[in-house]
Amino acid sequence: MSNNLPIIGVVLKDGHVESYDYMTAVKNDFHHTFIMSSKDKNELDYDSALRFVKLDGEGFYTLEGEPALDPHTVGKKQISIFAAHCIENGVDPKTRVKIKDHKLETYYEGKFIGALKDFLKEI
Chain segment 70-109, per-residue pLDDT in tens: 999 999 999 999 999 999 999 999 999 999 999 999 999 9
Cβ neighbours, 10 Å, residue 56 = 10
- Distance, C-alpha 120 to centroid of its chain: 14
Can you tell me the distance from the alpha carbon of 29 to that of 51, in angstroms, rounded to the nearest whole number? 15
Are 109 and 63 a contacting pair, CB within 8 Å?
A: no
Q: Is residue 29 part of a domain?
A: yes
Can you tell me the distance from the alpha carbon of 97 to that of 59, in angstroms, rounded to the nearest whole number? 9
Are 67 and 75 a contacting pair, CB within 8 Å?
A: yes
Average pLDDT, whole number, for the chain?
A: 87
Higher pLDDT, 115 or 47: 115
Tell me the residue range of the domain where 48 lies: 8-122
Q: Is residue 2 part of a domain?
A: no
Domains in the chain: how many in total? 1
Question: What proportion of the chain, given as a percentage, has pLDDT over 90?
Answer: 63
Q: Is residue 1 part of a domain?
A: no
The reported pTM is 0.86
